[in-house]
A and B are shown apart, each in its own frame.
Chain A
Amino acid sequence: MNVRRSLVVPAAIMLGAVGYAQERALGQEPGEPFETPPIPPAGAARAQPIAAIAGKDVIVCVPNVQLPHNSKHVPGTINVVATVACTKKVKSIAVRTGLYRNRKRVKMSGTRYFPGSRFGANNAAVRCRPGSYLGAVSWTVRFPPGYVPSVLTKLAWGDTRKLSC
């Protein structure tokens, strides 16, 4: 069965073809967030929502890759925060965040798990050097029993921002 075709959700929250192709190209399993690419590809997928359905119930999850910024807690470092917010509590959310400077990945976070939550977040940081910074997030949502699909992994990109130190 083509699971994605069975979802009755607005087109705007269906899986993005570009992101899905990227994940396939990276040869990743769908159950865990993966390392974001070493170099941002052309046509990188922006943050797109995903959805899972169980009967009439739909859970929508939305990623948000924030603009990189100078850390408030540790001056002299550039930090990027990525979040995932779902409309209902899910089985788990796992998040990895990548940080890029001048179109080259300079930091890849580990995986942070949020069991039984509606929210997940992770961050990546480097010592500040002037340049153009960009964040990316690889994220996996495991939905509650009965929802289709049961698990989804996605990749999304934020906007580029020039930062000085």
Chain B
Amino acid sequence: MGHTPVELLRKRLDELDIPDPPTSDGPSDRRLQHLVVVMGSFTDARMEAECIGPAVVSPDVADAWVGGSELLQSIASDEPYLVDGPVQLGMQEWIATGRHGPAVPTDVHSRAFYTSTATRRGPSMWRTYLNLHYEPELFPLPWRTWRLEADAGAAVFEVASARDWVEFVERYPARDAQLVKPDWASASHDYAGVHLTLGAIVAIQGFAFLTAYGPTEPQYWDVESTRWLSWRFGSPVLVETTTAGPSGL
């Protein structure tokens, strides 16, 4: 059944804010797992199938709806930097899969380099994503988890809302066909990285926003992440090597 863009956003929030929310007890945070499952289901294929017409919403409307999310409020009570930022420079993780080499690539100018923040219980949300989407073709083993500590002075653009995302794209626009997306190279002159919080990801995933340059390209970040535009880290520390795929949660 088709939905208008706002209806689809409300459906997303209904799926996140279930009446009996997962608890945060136990070795891993069930709330984050639940969020990863729900957001991971909002692929471009699902957006295309379920949205009537272009998936364009107002950033202010998106932010207003997401601001009322009980799940995000619950997560923010324990891990506010995941939901609202700012990025924790000393707690970044990068996970290499079997597609990567044995070392951490430092040429972040030539390839996209994303980290996710270690959580209170340990693993980052990206590790939770890998556990939930383990698929040998996509993410072959082994997985090597590297801890990275960014320079204290590294400037990071914080995207904590749809409005922030629109501001970022309008400040660093790159036109691509009918859409506008970030010009990462241009942004790298001013910032070492761009941090997308859960509040922003829930608001923007799969949606386009109107700007002076046209509609923004829909994004699919899935988990709290920082895209680094320049290498501003000390020596990476290998904290874990995983050779067996997850069998469950």
Whether B45 is near chain A, meaning CB under 8 Å from some CB there, is: yes
For the complex, what is the distance from the CA of A32 to the CA of B205, rounded to whole Å? 33
Residues in chain B near residue A116, CB distance under 8 A: 22
For the complex, what is the distance from the CA of A71 to the CA of B43, rounded to whole Å? 9
* A-facing residues in B168-191 (Cβ within 8 Å): none
* A-facing residues in B107-138 (Cβ within 8 Å): 132-135, 137-138
Residues in chain B near residue A79, CB distance under 8 A: 43, 135, 138
Q: What is the interface size of chain A, counting residues whose CB is below 8 A from a CB of the partner?
A: 36
Q: What is the interface size of chain B, counting residues whose CB is below 8 A from a CB of the partner?
A: 30
For the complex, what is the distance from the CA of A131 to the CA of B154, rounded to whole Å? 45
Which secondary structure dominates where chain B touches chain A?
loop
Whether B155 is near chain A, meaning CB under 8 Å from some CB there, is: no
Residues in chain B near residue A109, CB distance under 8 A: 135
Whether B65 is near chain A, meaning CB under 8 Å from some CB there, is: no
Interface-forming stretch among B32-40, B51-59, B86-94, B192-200? B32-40
The distance from the CB of A40 to the nearest CB of chain B, in whole angstroms, is 18
The distance from the CB of A100 to the nearest CB of chain B, in whole angstroms, is 14
| CB contact under 8 A between A118 and B18, given known A112-B132, A113-B249, A125-B135 | yes
Nearest 5 A/B pairs, CB to CB: A69-B45, A67-B45, A72-B220, A113-B248, A125-B137
- Chain A to chain B contacts (Cβ below 8 Å), 13 pairs: A64-B41, A66-B43, A66-B45, A72-B220, A79-B138, A89-B20, A109-B135, A115-B248, A117-B34, A119-B37, A119-B41, A123-B138, A125-B137
